[in-house]
Amino acid sequence: MSTILFSDQLEDWLKSKSPKTVSQLGEVFGRHSFAITIVVLMFLPALPIPTGGITHIFEIISMVLALEMTVGMQTIWLPNFAKNIKLGKRTMQNALPFMMRRIRWFEHYSRPRNSNLLEKRATGMLIGFLMFGFSLAAFLAPPFSGLDTLPALGVVALALSLILGDVVVLIVGILIGLFGIFLELSLGTIIFKAFGMLLKK
């Protein structure tokens, strides 16, 4: 019996006529609802396409979900305004090809490795803590710098490690996120110093 890939399930849902709200993600996919919702929300900041200010809203929601994972919550809670936020049709159409290619890349090279470890509650709480840190780094990145991309991609990889049950993807996500924070701190400092010098002239 062939196994339906996560990327195929997600693509079918994104292309369907059902409402594309944040709350629907958790309701439709059920298992790994936290991880799946965070994957979709954080893929937009991780993509090299213009998305407007919507990415900051998605990063804030992802931080809330990551904190809920950190304290061990099993069910998603979000305020009504966040639940009803729609994934814009134009944004999703532009992001969908990039998103699917990257998820399928992870699926191609991934296989269940130490999946039992990833199913432990303590591991999920630790991953939630890392997701919060990387999401916060993406949120604090200087605007229009592109420095939010790697921390956001780190969050996506962490979430995918839970979905795919692969500890190697988890390690990759941690490395990507940490490297993204390093670049943000180093290059971000240079950007702010240069901006400050321009203001003084």
- Give me the residue spans of the domains in the chain: 6-200
Model confidence at 2: pLDDT above 50: no
Predicted confidence at residue 91, as pLDDT, reads 63
- What's the whole-model pTM score? 0.85
Local confidence band at 54 (pLDDT 50, 70, 90 cut-offs): confident
HEC string for the chain:
CCCCCHHHHHHHHHHCCCCCEHHHHHHHHCCCHHHHHHHHHHHCCCCCCCCCCHHHHHHHHHHHHHHHHHCCCCCCCCCHHHHCCECCHHHHHHHHHHHHHHHHHHHHHCCCECHHHHCCHHHHHHHHHHHHHHHHHHHHCCCCCCCCHHHHHHHHHHHHHHHHCEHHHHHHHHHHHHHHHHHHHHHHHHHHHHHHHHHHC
